Amino acid sequence: MLSVFAKRPLLSALLAAGSPAVFPLRSFEYTRTIEDLLERDFQKPAIFNDLDPVILVLEYLLAAASVGNIGELCYRLGGRVLSAIFTGDEQHYFIWAWIGLAIHGFGALTLYRRTKVTTLGGEYDQHHGHTVFNQFKLQARQTRLCIEIRRESLLFLAIYWFTTLLTVCHIVYGTILFSSMLFISVEDAISVIARLMGSVIVCRIVLSYELVNLQSIVKEIKKERIADITDATAEREMEERQGSK
């Protein structure tokens, strides 16, 4: 949602890389998750509004630290831990992490194909025309958004099912990879789990805070109807006929 709605692909990529854990999402849950932006009425304390610039910098630092933690952990596991199945290759842990990042990317693409974001008050250029600037712009000062949920297309379904299949492969691959580790002590195993969970928790906290801010700028959510598509198609056909005459 951060990359598609809030136009923050940099922070989204850092959070995805720092939190490689993923889970399958059913197709109708995309709509439910979007609608939650309006249904949830959570107001953050007023003191956080004054601290938003500091919190924004802290978010990027925490996300970057999580990415560094995952990268160093994968490097350490690949160089020091033996595997009963994957032998002679130290890159499997990095492959597992990169697959998780790819899943987040395809998930964002799926969401992009299912939604259309417009601005209220004719401020399209302000929201879409400054991608680099939006990475560091406080969401409370961004333009008010209207989200339209489109009907499922064949391309959406294809990307969605591919993402779901890739998610299942990622879970199975990670389960086999981590369960086949040899000669690792209980203390080291707990340390690995703690570091993985630490990065995931930190990234989820940052994401949750950003979603709370996103709720403040999303003012309308509507669904595309078949009648709207039919009317739009009829208008295009009428314009084409008039143009041919």
**Which pLDDT does position 2 carry in this prediction?**
78
**Which pLDDT does position 146 carry in this prediction?**
84
The model's pLDDT over 67-80, given as tens digits with 9 standing for 90+, comes to 999 999 999 998 88
**Which pLDDT does position 230 carry in this prediction?**
45
**Which pLDDT does position 227 carry in this prediction?**
46
Please say whether the beta carbons of 119 and 144 come within 8 A. yes
Q: Could you tell me which residues are beta bridge partners of residue 116?
A: 148
**Which pLDDT does position 190 carry in this prediction?**
94
Angle at alpha carbon of residue 188, lines to 18 and 71, rounded to 5°: 25
**Which pLDDT does position 145 carry in this prediction?**
79
Residues in the chain with pLDDT values less than 50:
124-127, 226-227, 229-230, 233-234
Amino acid occupying residue 233: T
Per domain, the residue ranges of the chain are 9-244
**Which pLDDT does position 183 carry in this prediction?**
83
d(CA 166, CA 131): 29
* Helix, coil or strand: residue 82: strand
**Which pLDDT does position 229 carry in this prediction?**
45
d(CA 194, CA 127): 39
The model's pLDDT over 74-99, given as tens digits with 9 standing for 90+, comes to 999 988 888 888 877 778 999 999 99
Q: Does the predicted TM-score (pTM) go above 0.85?
A: no
